[in-house]
Structure 1
Amino acid sequence: MGHLVTLATCSLNQWALDFEGNAERIIESIRQAKAAGATLRVGPELEITGYGVLDGFLEGDTFLHSWEMLARIIDHPDTQDIVVDVGMPIRHRNVRYNCRVIFYNKKIILIRPKMWLANDGNYREHRHFTPWQRPQEVEDYYLEQIVGNITGQYKVPFGDAVISTRDTCFGLETCEELFTPNGPHNAYGLAGVEIISNSSGSHHELRKLDTRINLITQATKLSGGIYLYANQQGCDGDRLYYDGCAMIVVNGEIVAQGSQFSLNDVEVVTATVDIEDVRTYRCSVSRGMQASKQSPYVRLDVDTRLSRRGEEADPGLTVSEPIKPRYHAPEEEIALGPACWLWDYLRRCGAAGFFIPLSGGIDSCATSVIVHSMCREVLKAVRQGNEQVIKDVRRLCAKPADSDWLPTTSQEICKAIFHTSYMGTQNSSFETRDRAKRLAVDIGSYHVDFNFDTVVTAIMNLFTVVTNFQPRFKVHGGGGAENAALQNVQARMRMVLSYLFAQLLPTVRQRPGGGGLLVLASSNVDECLRGYLTKYDASSADLNPIGSISKVDLKKFIGWAGHNFELPILEEFLNATPTAELEPITATYVQSDEADMGVTYAELGVFGYMRKVTKLGPWSMYEKLLHLWGNEYSPREIYEKTRHFFYHYSINRHKMTVITPSYHAEQYSPEDNRHDLRQFLYPSFTWAYKKMEDSVKFWESKGWTAGKGQKKSVKAD
């Protein structure tokens, strides 16, 4: 018989600074792991505090309360007779570290600090923590009395060590260490470590899971081993959604995988593995020479075994078989990620529901369909008997907590918590009003429909009385500033009216509790990037589920949702021309978003990716686009498009300083809060433009003047 071990990893829906709630979820995960027969439980990164505490990690209270919760966890009767790995911040010699604490039967075995910190994209860990820069070294940590009174320990090991039980050896790495070129798992595997855990706080981005799974499987594919990946799941109070997907991998093959999007607060993933499979695998790969030269780690002994043998062995226990990884299509990721994020925010913030100005266009449609998807996921969790979701949905739908009421359709939930409104003017069309109304009926939202021309007229009359000047739209002979001002007053009034209705509709509907509604924005990532929105208009709200999703992906999502959610009306949104409907419609003019922007949404996606992800300025972008778009556009057209983009990007950058907090889904999001840290007052890119103009003249002198698929041959020198 082999050495069979049941191991547990988990995804927890933690909430930043919810110390007691976080501790309860940790204890529940340990309880479930033990019930499954596991002898080792691994949890997410910084699970006691929640990952998104950010500058809260600079406060002494955060560390004090973490130790208080750790004491509660260690002392709890349900956490005994299992090796437990818990994440929390720790100050050692007045230096802040992101740590794992490993304990067994009220004894701390090791405090393992994170060695490589995440410091790009959404992450600024160096602002809050210091990496442990002494690999394979351990020193004493003098334990806080509140925990020492329970463990009977005065000091415990702190540093980079591995843990030996009577039958195996395991090591630990934390999140970013998996993503580094030479992560700890490489040295662990060569040093004879057979089980490696990774405690992570990894957020969702569209199409990102494939990268993560490749790294996790690769971590044990070359050298063999068992890999336990834990992750946070849910919205912990900020723009990121942590997408779970806890996994157990053996020798490069997945044997257990948790959900990527779920409304469960606690999800424990277990697998039974044979340690002998690691030893056999390592005999069949070329690792012996390198392993013999690997410097040893400090090994800390624990007098227990993880495998069950002899009388403890279950004769019916079998090894978990490899499975194929499960992925969601990007369209499904859009349906599920922002939906789960919205549910977490709503159930925790005390609001009575959501409100959105439903314009009849594809962006507010997509946002509304995401809320519809949220209601579908809530209904699914209710039918699965999720007690926390049942409790939350009864409260949010204004049902007595002790009642037996359960929703039977997603529309029933939507009617209680989602409020939509068509806010029309004389510039609005019958088609958009009708589409908005019929979508509201199909998804079940509480819908109001009205015009507010009298409000706009009153404001403009006030301006005319004060200034003796009457602005006119461009189609009526007005100038550019007049045209913009007349559009913006409509847009900004929609924001004012949105908050008025959001605050009072629950009162109108006689909802108990007095809480208002969260206003949802619906500007997509490309419009934010281009600055194609009015500051403090309907893009200003409490939350924006699509603020980091491209127009191209949103259209694919709407097409997917029309079929999968049985909403045939969505086809009409796909076929409609995107328009703000802020200018008068005439026999020869209908306002169009792409015409207004001077660039297509697909082109904006390319500009955004190059600007943020590949880090190209105007000149480098122009050079890159010569190769990418050279068969379609001439060098002069590429120059003009690049210059047009950067002009509008730079003059509108200030709008990102006040943009609505958005669900983070796209790598090129221009969101100013922490993802895209750039100035908001730009000079003209004169030097780059001069270089482009010289390049255009050069290529034109070589005969390259045509575009649109008619690129001419370039003369040889």
Structure 2
Amino acid sequence: MPKIALAAGVLNQIPLDWKGNQARIISLIQEAQQKQAGILCLPELCLTGYGCEDQFLSAYTSEKAWESLLQILPHTQHILVWLGLPVFFEGKLYNVAACLANRKLIALIPKQHLANDGVHYETRWFNPWPAQKRSFISTSLGDIPIGDYRIQAGGISIGIEICQDAWEGENRPAHALAKRGVSVLCSPTASHFAFAKSKTRQRLSIEGSEIIQGAYVFANLLGNESGRTIFDGDAYIVQEGQIVAESQRFSFKDSQLILAAVDVKGETNTAEDLLSADVEWPVLNQIYPSFEAASWEYAENIKEEEFARAVSLGLWDYVRKSHSFGWVISLSGGADSSAITTLCYLAIQLAYKELGWKGIQEKMNYIPWINGLSSEKDFIARMLTTAYQGTENSSDQTRASAKALAECIGTTHYDWNIDVLVQEYRGIIEHAIGRTLSWEKDDITLQNVQARLRSPSVWMLANINNALLLATSNRSEASVGYATMDGDTSGSISPIAGIDKTFIRQWLIWMEKSGLDGTLRMSGLSHVNSLEPSAELRPLTSKQVDEEDLMPYPILNAIERWAFYDKLSPALCLQNLIQEYGSHFTEEQLTGFCSRFFRLWARNQWKRERYAPGFHVDDYSLDPKSWLRFPILSAGLEKDIKP
């Protein structure tokens, strides 16, 4: 049996960043060569970036990707490399893994099964390649094999299945490739983060190696590539069902490489689907370090750990890839804005831990003041700006909560009152309509004007600092429109729009009491964790509480999931509600909750259409641009609930 070093490379790429993507790929190839890797698997569509959206339909994108491929080719001496790009063939576009070996392009192997659910729209751009179909494509390098091929190199047979291919059960290519004698199977992937999804990818990798009774090499993308989706950056090398190397997820580095030396079955036969690559495996004279998962992967609160690390990395990548100089947050002292402020702080802390101060300066070298700072503390104060914008309806408790968190983190924090602006606008309208506004007649009007008047000031801070303004709405609020357009929805990105309010509150308590990896705790969250969620837009004497305005958040979240993940009718949602909560609420109350949810859902689609882009972190979302489309005008689903 030949002994060979297999390598999986993780890459943090940017759509259409030809120079940068190419440089990161070449750097990883060179690292793999230095470490005597024989086969290197890189992620799906890593030449272009996975998130090119409709730019895939432009011939220019494929042409530029091909130019990059030609420039990478000379760097593949003494190694076999898989990397992904889009290729037009016979008038159709395919998602292809290119096999490069010893400075030659051996084959282009297209994806057979396309992801077309959730955040995926691959069939909009690509075509599935039929199994067993093989042909040739005319290129600047001559006629190149394209199709369902195997590669024979150094005495072993190598196959490929690209991302979704591995999720197809009995139809996954691994089964057919096993019958055709493959002993190494590579899986270039672009599989986005969602809670616990990495365990499924890990299981599919193990199953793939068991199917072929050989070695499986899995490589995923890393980081916030194109705005909404975050990639874990997980990579696995599996031999006959045993993981022998894996990456550490959510790295803040540009790339990560894992390697393992394995014994694989040899093959010397010939067949029409078997292409020969002229490459000899390096003689191994080094022992590879142990590539193992981070300790937090085994934590009891894995969901909280994943949320913190995924969103922190998403925020970090978003700020640097947009060439912004930091973040601005309207810090109300409530749960949502406190969570976002904490996540920004964690982004800096995790980056500093992994990259060091010098590494941060290199990443952020576009910021003119970055080299003038002398400490991490100064960096936090420049990067993160918070503002408490009180009114006569704001409480001392929320002001204290905002101040405590800002001081704990070290943000540049402001505290001002906007009552003069509220009264000015109120006076203008009262003069125009010829009457005084009152809470009895104009409740929503008087609430919304406060929320909206908080927006211009923080936008000014964002403009002054060349920073990103972060919107503070969560998924629970989005489902029922419990947010003020051009108020708390203002921002360049909405970091927690993909997660529910109940989890946010739970996560904040965990961050205060336990923290990341049991060490990075946030004592400054003690104030917010003692408060009941309130918009604080009505007079304090009214004792406004979110759940009294709406319904208990666990009930809201349950209806939302049943309706839009499980796709149940309003009547079935109500039936489930009565079964689950009937011992705590009357049937009349539950009917009211359900009717209110669907009435507010249907009338507020226009708000969801206007929300700032949010991160996809759960197994579903309400984002109409990437997951859930709903008519802006509809009859109102509450009518389907019979009292």
| Structure 2 length-normalised TM | 0.94
Q: Deviations over 1:490-521 (max 9, x none)?
A: 111111222122212x3xxxxxxxxx221001
Instruction: Tell me which amino acid in the other structure corresponds to 2:385.
Output: H
**Structure 2 counterpart of 1:525:** 475
Compute the displacement of 1:260 (Å): 1.3
Q: 1:545-694 residue pairs with structure 2 within 5 A? A: 545-563=495-513, 564=515, 565-586=520-541, 589-597=542-550, 599-685=551-637, 688-690=640-642, 693=643
Q: Larger deviation: 420-429 or 528-537?
A: 528-537
Give the aligned partner of residue 358 of structure 1. 331
What does the per-residue CA deviation read over 1:86-115, in whole Å, with 9 as the maximum and x for residues that have no partner? 100000011111101101122211101111
In structure 2, give the amino acid aligned to 1:71.
L
Query: How do residues 61-460 of structure 1 correspond to structure 2 at under 5 angstroms?
Result: 61-75=60-74, 78-133=75-130, 135-143=131-139, 145=140, 148=141, 154-181=142-169, 182-276=171-265, 298-306=273-281, 312-314=283-285, 317=287, 326=297, 329-383=302-356, 387=359, 389-393=360-364, 395-396=366-367, 398-400=369-371, 407=375, 409=376, 411-460=377-426
Query: Which deviations, in whole Å up to 9, do the C-alpha atoms of 1:266-314 show, x marking residues without a partner?
Result: 11111111115x99xxxxxxxxxxxxxxxx87111223344x5xxx353
d(CA) in 1 for partners of 2:420 and 2:374?
43
Q: 2-side partners of 1:217 and 1:638: how far apart?
A: 45
- The answer as to whether partners of 1:609 and 1:667 remain within 8 angstroms in 2 is no
Deviation per CA, 1:60-90: give whole Å up to 9, x if none: 2111111111111012xx4211111110000
Q: Contact (CA 8 Å) 1:13, 1:265: kept in 2 or not?
A: yes
SS in 2 for 1:569: helix
CA distance in 1, matches of 2:435, 2:595: 35
Structure 1's 318 and 275: CA in aligned 2 closer, same or farther, altered over 3 A? Answer: farther
Cα deviation 1:469-488 (Å, max 9, x = unaligned): 21111xxxx12xx0000000
Matched, 1:29 2:22: no
Aligned to 1:502: 462
Over 3 Å counting, the alpha-carbon distance change for 1:94 and 1:414 in structure 2 is: same
Q: Using a 3 Å threshold, how does the CA distance of structure 1 residues 542 and 270 change in structure 2: closer, same or farther?
A: same
Contact 2:393 2:539 in 1 (8 A): yes
Alignment counterpart, residue 484 of structure 2, candidates 520, 534, 538: 534
Deviation at 1:679, TM superposition (A): 1.2
Measure, in 2, the Cα distance between the counterparts of 1:89 and 1:386: 36
- 1:208-251 deviation line (CA, Å, top 9, x unaligned): 22222222222223552211111110112221111111111111
Question: Contact 2:152 / 2:276 at 8 angstroms: preserved in 1?
Answer: yes
Per-residue deviation, 1:631: 4.4
Native 8 Å contact 1:611 1:668 kept in 2: no
Contact in 1 for aligned 2:474/2:500 (Cα 8 Å)? yes
In the superposition, relative to structure 1, how do residues 162 and 247 fare at CA in structure 2: closer, same or farther (>3 Å)? same
- For the residues of structure 1 that align with 2:33 and 2:565, how far apart are their CA atoms? 43
Structure (1 or 2) with the larger CA radius of gyration: 1
Contact 1:73 1:79 in 2 (8 A): yes
For residue 696 of structure 1, what is the aligned residue in structure 2? none
- Report the residue type matching 1:429 in the other structure: S
Kindly state the Cα deviation for residue 395 of structure 1 after the two structures are TM-superposed. 4.7
Distance 2:167 2:584 in 1: 38
Q: Which deviations, in whole Å up to 9, do the C-alpha atoms of 1:123-156 show, x marking residues without a partner?
A: 11111111112x112111101x2xx2xxxxx101
Distance change >3 Å, CA 406–CA 185, structure 1 → 2: farther
8 Å Cα contact 2:77/2:102 also seen in 1: yes
SS in 2 for 1:51: coil
Alignment of 1:692-703 (within 5 A): 693=643
- C-alpha distance in structure 2 between counterparts of 1:179 and 1:538, whole Å: 39
Separation of aligned partners in 2, 1:607 and 1:548? 16
Letter in 2 for 1:672: P
Give the aligned CA root-mean-square deviation in angstroms.
2.3
State the identity %.
Answer: 30
Alignment partners' CA distance in 1, 2:426 and 2:291: 71
State the alpha-carbon separation in 2 of the partners of residues 55 and 243 from structure 1: 24
Unaligned runs of 5+ in 2: none
| Equivalent position SS for 1:552 | helix
Retained in 2: the 8 A contact 1:354–1:419?
yes
Work out the CA distance in 2 between the residues paired with 1:303 and 1:458.
Answer: 78
Moved more, 200-209 or 365-374: 200-209
Matches of 1:430 and 1:198 in 2, distance apart?
Answer: 55
Distance, in Å, in 1 between the alignment partners of 2:512 and 2:60 is: 49
Structure 2 Cα separation of the partners of residues 25 and 578 of structure 1: 45
Matched residues in 1 for 2:317 and 2:109: separation? 31
Whether the 8 Å CA contact 1:397–1:416 is kept in 2: the answer is no
Alpha-carbon separation, structure 1, partners of 2:393 and 2:111: 58
Amino acid corresponding to residue 435 of structure 1 in structure 2:
S
What secondary structure does 1:263 align onto? coil
Quickly say closer, same or farther: Cα 1:25–1:355, change in 2 above 3 A.
same
Read off the aligned partner of 1:391 and give its amino acid letter. E
CA distance in 1, matches of 2:425, 2:156: 76
Looking at structure 2, the residues matched to 233 and 549 of structure 1 have their Cα atoms a distance apart, in angstroms, of 21
**TM-aligned CA deviation for residue 684 of structure 1:** 2.7
- Sort the Cα spacing of 1:382 and 1:685 in 2 relative to 1 into closer, same or farther, 3 A: closer
Quote the Cα distance in structure 2 between the aligned partners of 1:167 and 1:349.
47
Deviation at 1:625, TM superposition (A): 3.4
Give the Å deviation of 1:335.
Answer: 1.5
Following the alignment from structure 2 to structure 1, what is the Cα–Cα distance between the partners of residues 138 and 163?
26
Counterpart of 1:288 in structure 2 is none
By how many angstroms is 1:688 displaced? 2.7
Letter in 1 for 2:58: E
Q: Is the 8 A contact 1:347 1:396 kept in 2?
A: no
Return the alpha-carbon distance in structure 2 between the equivalents of residues 379 and 322 of structure 1. 21
| Cα distance in structure 2, aligned partners of 1:359 and 1:319 | 47
The answer (yes or no) to whether the contact 1:549–1:666 under 8 Å persists in 2 is yes
Alignment CA distance shift 1:261-1:297 (3 Å): farther
Q: State the number of aligned residues.
A: 632
Alpha-carbon shift at residue 390 of structure 1 (Å): 2.8
SS of match in other structure, 2:9: strand
Q: Which runs of 5+ in 1 are unaligned?
A: 149-153, 280-295, 507-515, 694-717
> Residue 204 of structure 1 aligns to which amino acid in structure 2?
F
Change (3 A) 1:119 1:367: same
In the aligned structure 2, how far is the partner of 1:426 from the partner of 1:318? 64
Structure 2 counterpart of 1:164, one-letter code: Q
Report if the CA contact (8 A) 2:258-2:291 is conserved.
no
Q: Helix, strand or coil: the match of 1:355? A: strand
**Residue 444 (structure 2) pairs with residue 488 (structure 1):** no
1:318 shift after superposition = 7.8
Output the CA distance in 2 between the equivalents of 1:390 and 1:95. 44
